[in-house]
Amino acid sequence: MDEFTENEVSLNQMSLLDTSLFERLFKTQFQSMPKPWQIFHTAIGHHEFKGEAEVIRGSNIILQALATLLRLPPTSKVPVKLVIEKQGLGESWARYFGKSFFSTVLYLDEKNETAEDGFYLRERFGPLCFGIVLTVEDKTVVWSIDRWWFFHIPLPKFFAPRSKTKEFVDDEGRYAFDIDLSVPFLGRLIAYRGWLNVQ
């Protein structure tokens, strides 16, 4: 590789490292999204956002045990904090609900390069990894589970958790979220909805 090509690669890598995950994911459509959403998803490095959330766990005993095993928060209305850390070209999202805490890592899915029907991410949660497709419906970003793996083993989509996840700007102009996660045949695992101050 000649010196010019090496410098070009180095500049490209620096450009990627200076750009947030969602800026790279949404590309030209990023600037057309609501401002609080843009501010939230422009976070690079270490950022903390605080707000409030209402959490509802499923009532099924099996789901209660599973939620506890996964360290998901109990049913409550609590202060919430989200800490975003850049990890290479991905992002770590650490979620604090009162005294409860869990984290995931998000990064681009290679499917995003050729897809025309949405924006594709992967989200890793312990040994599980989920392929996520994001679509925009009237300025609301909808997250849906498209594929999933246990470590690197593909799992049947039929048995994948069902996700009803939305990001939007609420009536008070705040970045808001509404997540409802269920397990096939068992029902709701957890739902949490609320807002974050991104100013």
Tell me: pLDDT of 32 over 90.
yes
Q: What is the mean pLDDT of residues 57-75?
A: 92
Rounded distance, CA 118 to CA 142, Å? 10
Rounded distance, CA 68 to CA 66, Å? 5
pLDDT digit string, tens, across residues 117-141: 889 999 999 999 999 999 999 999 9
List CB contacts of 149: < 8 A, sequence separation 6 or more.
Answer: 128, 129, 130, 155
What's the pLDDT score for residue 16? 62
Question: Residue 100 is which amino acid?
Answer: S
Q: What is the mean pLDDT of residues 67-96?
A: 93
Tell me: pLDDT of 3 over 60.
no
What's the pLDDT score for residue 153? 97
DSSP for residue 111 = G
Q: What residue spans define the domains of the chain?
A: 3-197
Strands 128-137 and 119-125: antiparallel
Confidence of residue 45 (pLDDT cuts 50, 70, 90): confident
Top CATH class, 3-197? mainly beta
Confidence of residue 148 (pLDDT cuts 50, 70, 90): very high
Tell me: pLDDT of 15 over 70.
no
Tell me: pLDDT of 7 over 80.
no
In a 10 Å sphere around its CB, with 0-12 CB exposed, 13-18 middle and 19+ buried, how is residue 156 labelled?
Answer: exposed
Answer whether 120's CB lies under 8 Å from 131's CB. yes
What's the pLDDT score for residue 117? 81
